[in-house]
Structures are given as structure tokens and as C-alpha cells.
Structure 1
């Protein structure tokens, strides 16, 4: 129990520290101005949307049901259940991501009415659209984190967010070295959000418990 607590605490601390470094590098790259404002609105929108659709209730509902199926019907049935949830969540979030991508001009105009009539609005729309794949990837990641936690495999779930932040930091350092203009940097960073989310999802799915024959 103590070992699990230390693992989770260490992973959380590492993720928070790297997240702070990531945000500091973003601020250094984008500075202050319309490009930075647009990026921050887009990034906040993606994070809020992720929490609304893919976190909290999903994990709260998944883990007890998964454990109940595993206890009453066995590991094979639990693996099948987790696979169905994984597929369903992926499909639903892809559909939501596509709808939000189409409606992004309206969404950003509602969230940031001060951007209307300014080039900042288009910057924010473009950034948010580039980040939308992350929203689609985060659902499967959360499903797998829930399943792995249920199987007491805490190491990967505790440290998988570190991979996201490390990927982002690498991209940010490259951009700092190359000294690109803020608009180009914001575009690359927005695209990197989706890439980092994809890598996080892939490493979690690769370690799915039923792959090892639980």
C-alpha cells in the first residue's frame, strides 16, 4: 500500500513539475499579445472539454463495474467489457471532436467574445482545431488508466502524464532554439498537443491487462 502511494505521489509531483516547466516555456515562446491570448483560450477550452466529457464520471462508473464483472464473470469477461468500453468511448469522443471542430468558430466566439472582429479569433479557432485530436485520444487513455488502476498497476498510470509533458517540453525547446515567430510557434505547439496525447494513449493501450492474459 505504501509503495503504491509513493508511486502515485511521485508520478503526480513529476507531472506537476513538468507541467509548470511546460507552461513557462510556452510563455517564453509566445510572450504577450494576441497570439498568446488565442493559444491560452484554445488550450483552456480543450482542457475544460476533456474534464467535462472524459474524466470524473467515466472513471467513477468504469472501475466499480469492471471489478464487479471481473469478480463475478472472470478475467476474460472483464477484458471483453473493457474492450467494449474502450471502443465505445473512442467512437463517441471522435464524433464529439468532429462536431466541435466544425462548430469551433461559434464556440470560440461564445467563450471569448472580446476576440470577435479581431484576428485573435481566427488564431484561437485554428489552435483549438489543431488540439482537438487530443480530446479524442484522452478518452481511451482514461479508460486504460482506470483498468490498470483496477488491476493495481499504478506505475504506468501515475507516470503516463509525464510522457505528455516531456513530449511538449521537447517541442518547446526545439522551437526556442530555432527562434520562430510566435504565430508559427503557437501552431506547432497546438499540433504537438495532439501528438503528445496520442503517444500517451498508445503507451497505455499497449500495456492493456488483457494483452498479458489476465
Structure 2
């Protein structure tokens, strides 16, 4: 199996950062974790253990992030699907006409933007991304995707922290306000980068050579 040899630290940061927020919450609330916030400072071993705990928690939080993602996009669906609506503002009307023609060329008449169902369009979006990636033009899209994942994790972590604080520290108004502001900021940034991802994906797709976005050709026997 072919794998990439490049190491992307941003993918690790996107996991550890939300995990660190929850790890600090545990360190301030659970006796087992209080060693990480005591006044004696952290040893190298403690720091390494804390990073490992944050990394594991980060992966679990991203699983919870998949659940909190749905309410964030409840009313309009994922940004990549905005282009189905003629009144959308993700790309220009002229760009939307080109996109419509490119999708029909790739998938057939059933992929026309005004009629394609949302579940089907998600599969079409995945195929369009594959074409862009194969052309070597997905770097900026991937950057937006990783940043989106980071803020999705922060939304999940902030939701957990705020929920716990409402339960255990409801009298600490300042703490609740700070966590509430953090949650709102994370949701706003998550939505912003989700739209950046979708816009860049479709613009890169329509800028591909026409032969690249056409139907797949069968391999010669």
C-alpha cells in the first residue's frame, strides 16, 4: 500500500488542541489529573504524559465533533451543497453555470444543480474533489479542511467544557461567559472555514481542463 512520506504537523495540532482544552478541564476537576496543574511544575515525563492524554482525548472529542457538526449545518446543509441553490453566494452566477456544465459532463444529466438530491450531491462532491486532487491542485482545499477539523474539535471541546461548567460551576458567571464566547467563536470559525473549503473546491474544479472533469475513461484491455 502506497502511503505519503510527508509529515503534516497541522493534522496533529488539530487533534491535540481540542484534547488539551478537555485535559486541562480534567486536570482542574479530577484528583487523578491534578498533578498537571499543581504549583510544583511539570517534569518532562509529566509533560509527555499530558501530551499523550491530550492526543487520545482529541481523537475522542473529534468523534463527538461529528455529532455537533450536524446542528451547525442543520438548516442549509454542508457548504459544498450551497451551489445547488440558484440564489447562493458561494460562487458567482457565471461560475455556477460553468460548474453545472462540468458536473453534467462528469456525471450525466442527473447531476444538474437545480435537481440533484442532497445525498447524491455529497457523492458527486467527493468525486469532484478526487479529480482536483488527482490534478495536484488540492493543497489549499486540504488546508481549509484541516483548519475546519480543528475548529470542529474546538466546538466539541468547548461544548463539553461549557456543559460541565453549567452543571458543576453554575454560580461562576464569568467562567460561563468566557466558555460561551469561546464556543461561539469556534462555531463562527468552523462555519467560515467550511465555506472557504467549499468555495475553493468548486473554483478549482471548474478551472480544471475540460478533459479532466469529463466522464472517466475505461482502461484499455
Asked whether the two chains share a fold, i.e. TM above 0.5, the reply is no
Where relative contact order (Cα < 8 A, 6+ residues apart) is larger, the structure is 1
Of Structure 1 and Structure 2, the greater helix share is in 1
Normalising by structure 2, report the TM-score.
0.37
